[in-house]
Amino acid sequence: MTTSEIAAAVREGHADMLELWEAVRRFAHDRAFRWCRALEGRGGCTVDDLMQCAFLALLEALEGWDLSAGSFLTWYGYHLQGAFTEATGQRTKRERQDPLQWAVSLDTPLVDSEGDALLLEDVVEDPAAEEEFCVVEELDRREAIRRALSHLTADQRTAVVLRYCRGLTLDQTAARMRTTRALARTAEQKGLRRLRHPSISRELRQYV
């Protein structure tokens, strides 16, 4: 089956989310690795962090996609781009580094809505403050993921983290959990179903 066919089957309840993740995980990991390599440590995200974003982006992409829209992988790629951009703070950094942002003198006089005089430097963004905001936003994202995972049992949480954050195979996950392959798979599937519940996934979607 193609990725689009698997995605359609998941939408119709004829396939498991795990099958779709397996179909796109290498694609997502390749994109995450390229982002981290290109940023050279900037942005505060590791490949593991971006893979967490990639899984959340998959949930979001699946919800808004239909077969008539074209290839699911292309659609997912758009969601990955947006998720990685937000996670690494590159959107705000690009805007901040644009020379045109500073083409006007900071001494340029302005008038506020109440008619009071002020200078451009009084209202221009403080890069340090914006950077601090990005850090806080990233901490909020990680805390939201931690809270979502806290709704799972210990086995479910371990299985999901090892599979989707650490990129281990099912056999490797079972070995790390010291259990059978079947029990590891069951824990993973139950964990994914729990994470997709609206009461849990609602908070995560704002970070996708």
Spell out the domain ranges in the chain.
3-97+126-207
pLDDT for res 182: 93
Burial class of residue 73 (count of CB atoms within 10 Å of its CB; 0-12, 13-18, 19+): middle
Query: Which residues, 6+ apart, have CB-to-CB distance to 89 below 8 Å?
Result: 43, 44, 134, 137, 138
Q: What pLDDT does 127 receive?
A: 52
Q: What is the pLDDT of residue 47?
A: 86
Q: Give the predicted TM-score (pTM) of the model.
A: 0.47
pLDDT at 186: 93
DSSP code of residue 164: I
pLDDT at 141: 67
Q: Are 156 and 187 in contact (CB under 8 A)?
A: yes
pLDDT given for residue 174 in this prediction: 92
Question: Within the chain, which residues score under 70 in pLDDT?
Answer: 40-44, 69, 90-141, 204-208
Pull the structure tokens for residue 105.
């003198």
Residue 105 φ/ψ, nearest 5 degrees: -60, 140
